Amino acid sequence: MPIADCPRAKTYLKELRDRLPGPRVTHSIFTAEYLSSLSGTLCLDHDEAVTAGLLHDYCRDLQRETFLEEARRRRMPISESQLEKPALLHGPLAAELCREQFDITDTVYEAIYWHTTGRPGLGRLGQALYVADFAEPGRKFQEAAEARQLLRKQGFDAALRYVAAMKVHFNRNKPVIDPNTEIFLLWLQKTTG
C-alpha cells in the first residue's frame, strides 16, 4: 500500500519539508515506505506505520542546547547519557512534539520515542520502526544491506536481533552509550528466536 494512502501523509510531508534538510526528508520517506511494506506481514496498522516512519526524525536537526531546553520545558525525564549527548533526545522529543501537533496515537508515540535505542517490551510498531530506520533502502552501508537481506530470507525477528547487535557494536568505543541500547538487545535475545 503506498504511503499516500495515509490520509495525513501530505500534511506530514509539508511539515517535514519546512523543518528538515532534504536528505533527512528523503530518509523519512524511505523509512515510511519500508514500514508500509512490512505492515501487512507484521499486522501493523498502515496509517500508524506511515505516520511513525514519516515523523520519527521530526526533531533530529535541533541544536544541542535546544534539545535540552525543549525537553526541560516539557518536564521530560533526561538521562545521564542524554545530558552528555543531547541528540539522544531526538526520539523522545519528536514523540512529544508530534503528539502536541498531530495528535498521534499512543502506539506511534511509543515507536517514535524509542526508535534510536529500543527498550525491553517495545511493541511491534516500535520494533519495525527501529529496523526500518536502520535498514531503509537509502541506507548504503553494508550492515543495512545485510539487515534487508536477513529480513527477506530469515524473517523480521532475525533482522531485528541483527540490527540491535549492530547498534551495540557501533557504539562499543563511543564515550556515551544509552543503556537501553544494550538492554534491548539482551531482551530480544531472551524473548525471540
With binding defined as CB under 5 A, does residue 57 bind Fe ion? yes
Longest CA–CA span in the chain (Å) reads 46
Task: Give 54's contacts (C-beta < 8 A, 6+ positions apart).
Answer: 3, 9, 12, 13, 16, 28, 29, 31, 32
Q: Tell me the C-alpha to C-alpha distance, in Å, between residue 152 and each of 80, 91, 173.
A: 37, 27, 30
Stretch that binds Fe ion, among 36-44, 56-64, 161-169, 177-185 (CB under 5 A): 56-64
Minimal distance, residue 149 CB to Fe ion, in Å: 20
Span interacting with Fe ion, options 50-58, 121-129, 167-175, 176-184, rule CB under 5 A:
50-58
Residue 182 C-beta: closest distance to Fe ion, Å: 18
Indicate which single residue of 133, 139, 160, 178 sits in contact with Fe ion (rule: CB under 5 A): 133
C-alpha 179/C-alpha 131 separation (Å) is 18
Min CB(114)–Fe ion separation in Å: 11
Where along the sequence are the contacts to Fe ion (CB under 5 A)? 57, 133
